[in-house]
């Protein structure tokens, strides 16, 4: 057992199902997903757009409107099932014990409130600080996330900041109450590569500083390799693979994960004279409004057989700490039950 495995359990998601009733039927956005996060750990959830990553994150914080949404399963945070809490109890946890960085800072920040007021709002609600104390703490937070001249920036508005600065303000808001768990939903998507690198370095430094566990939602495998310890791969609302980062990149077990890694451009390949075409995953993601009898990846998988179309593969350990839902993934180094 590694030292990482000895850390106390913080979040346990078991058989999470988040469905939406629509005019065309039930959309199974998240369909039976399970994972856990230990204290101080960084877990990445990856997959292409529409696979259910963001809905999973919103479900943890119970930000899914009911109706049309419906969340079922179990979401235990420090042993307490969040799905059984009252709205008031849940509001006390959001932004305090569990915080979230949303995808688009320009649409997530309030344009008519100053940066300091938006950081201070969380502090006044959860920590009981007065206006003066909240502003002083907001200046500290802006300094912590690397924003220059925080005493001036705290009184400015979001539109006066660059995209990277706005993302730093979002991180400052999320970290203001020293949360135990930080959910980051595509935190670098709208930023150029140099600012992306700065934000990732900031998140790594802050993880060490404040000790929060991180659930990182992304489709960028480069980001995963940079900051995560373990990875959950999602496809069509289901978990198809989970492993430590190094194991996943070295030996991906599921054909979908292999396709994702194969479609990443290789830096410098054009300089070597190689003219190989960039790999792609053919076909389209199946409709989440239809029950899929077999493997969810069967319509796009190069290894598909009749067994795959008829029988859904169970998540099984294919190597120590490495599970995948594929009938034909090789099993290595796992002791027989």
Dihedral (CA of 226, 280, 306, 24) sign: positive
Pair (73, 83) in one structural domain: yes
- Tens digit of each residue's pLDDT (9 = 90 or more) over 206-246: 777 778 899 999 888 888 888 889 999 999 999 999 999 99
Pair (136, 86) in one structural domain: no
Pair (92, 221) in one structural domain: yes
Q: CA angle, 197 as apex, 194 and 202 as ends, to 5°?
A: 130
Is the pTM higher than 0.75? The answer reads yes
Give the structural domain span for 41: 1-97+179-199+206-269
Pair (9, 155) in one structural domain: no
State residue 15's pLDDT score.
95
Pair (47, 125) in one structural domain: no
In the chain, how many domains are there? 2
| pLDDT at 249 > cutoff 80 | yes
38, part of any domain: yes
The percent of residues in the chain predicted with pLDDT above 70, rounded, is: 91
332 vs 67 pLDDT, higher one = 67
Per the rule left: phi > 0, alpha: psi between -120 and 50, beta: everything else, 273 is left
- Which of 247, 269, 291 terminates a domain? The answer is 269
Pair (173, 90) in one structural domain: no
Dihedral (CA of 153, 159, 161, 167) sign: positive
User: Which pLDDT band holds residue 336 (cuts at 50, 70, 90)?
Assistant: very low
297, part of any domain: no
| DSSP letters for 225-257 | HHH-SEEEEEETTEEEEEEEHHHHHH---SHHH
């Amino acid at each position: 057992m590694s030292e990482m495995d000895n850390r106390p359990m913080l979040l346990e998601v078991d058989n999470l199902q988040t469905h939406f009733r629509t005019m065309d039927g039930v959309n199974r956005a998240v369909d039976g997903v399970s994972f856990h996060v230990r204290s101080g750990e960084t877990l990445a959830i990856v997959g292409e757009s529409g696979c259910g990553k963001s809905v999973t994150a919103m479900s943890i914080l119970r930000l899914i409107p009911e109706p049309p949404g419906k969340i079922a399963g179990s979401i235990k945070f420090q042993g307490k099932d969040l799905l059984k809490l009252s709205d008031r109890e849940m509001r006390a946890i959001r932004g305090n014990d569990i915080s979230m960085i949303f995808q688009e800072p320009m649409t997530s920040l309030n344009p008519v409130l100053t940066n300091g007021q938006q950081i201070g709002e969380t502090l006044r609600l959860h920590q009981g600080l007065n206006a003066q104390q909240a502003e002083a703490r907001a200046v500290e937070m802006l300094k912590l996330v690397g924003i220059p001249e925080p005493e001036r920036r705290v009184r400015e508005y979001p539109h006066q900041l660059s995209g990277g600065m706005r993302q730093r303000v979002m991180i400052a808001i999320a970290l203001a109450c020293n949360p135990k768990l930080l959910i980051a939903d595509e935190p670098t998507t709208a930023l150029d590569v140099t600012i992306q690198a700065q934000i990732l370095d900031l998140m790594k430094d802050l993880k060490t500083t404040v000790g929060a566990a991180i659930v990182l939602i992304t489709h960028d495998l480069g980001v995963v390799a940079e900051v995560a310890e373990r990875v959950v791969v999602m496809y069509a609302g289901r978990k198809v693979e989970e492993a430590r980062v190094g194991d996943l990149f070295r030996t991906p077990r599921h054909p979908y994960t292999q396709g994702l890694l194969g479609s990443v451009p290789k830096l410098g390949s054009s300089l070597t004279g190689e003219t190989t075409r960039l790999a792609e995953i053919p076909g389209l993601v199946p409709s989440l409004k239809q029950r899929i009898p077999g493997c969810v990846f069967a319509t796009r998988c190069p290894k598909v057989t009749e067994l795959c179309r008829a029988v859904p593969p169970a998540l099984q350990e294919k190597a120590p700490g490495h599970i995948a839902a594929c009938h034909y993934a090789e099993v290595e180094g796992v002791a027989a039950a």
